[in-house]
Structure 1
Amino acid sequence: LEEADQLARDVVIVDHGKVIAAGTPDELKSQAGRDVIEVRPRAATDLTAVREVLASVAAEDPRVDDDMHRVYAPVDGGATDLSTVVRMLDERSLTVDDIGLRRPTLDEVFLTLTGEPIDAVDPDPSADAA
């Protein structure tokens, strides 16, 4: 959905053959998404500790992306939650290479609306009937 976010004027999200949301990428993000705190610790061994810190402010379970060496989680408190995370990381002497607050991606909006990640959806449902 990254390409749709960059190129599409309007996006329609369909779940099991039913339209569940439609609008511009920004409208969909505002309707269904939360701000996301994303942290990239300096040491890969700190991913679990960073996940625990994010869990204390997150609106949902934090996700660990081992390949990208980052932890991210949606939050309801925006910049206030980001400040809390920075303070907690410092208190635990966890060094980070990058930390930020960002808008949700369309993939994250899709997950929120459908309960499934986009890559878990079968693009050809008729293949199950064969």
Structure 2
Amino acid sequence: MMTPKELFERRKRRVRQALKAKSHGRLRLSVHRSGQNIYAQVIDDERGVTLASASSLEKSLRETLKTGADKSAAAAVGKLIAERAVAAGITEVVFDRGGYIYHGRVKALADAAREGGLSF
């Protein structure tokens, strides 16, 4: 029987493999969530470079948010990553949810990023 961590890693590999097949050279918006915070990065996999990033740990967000582990924090991070990506000239990305289910905080981040101007 597989442990929960092994199952998560398997899901993550499966999602990334599908993204690489369908991305057609677009950049990747990667999401990581922990029990206390949420993080997002726009990554160029061909060059191996992070072009924009945002997290609920940033001072500007920490001062306004009650906690970094709820939907409002995820929406704030999504809005911030979209602003930074658009400022860097990025509008088309593929959404990499990792091994996380597209629900709750991950969905809130994705919806806020779409509202902020990213297309995926």
Pick the TM interval, shorter chain: 0.3 to 0.5
Give TM-score, length-normalised by structure 2. 0.32
Q: TM-score, normalised by structure 1?
A: 0.30
The structure that is strand-richer by fraction is 1
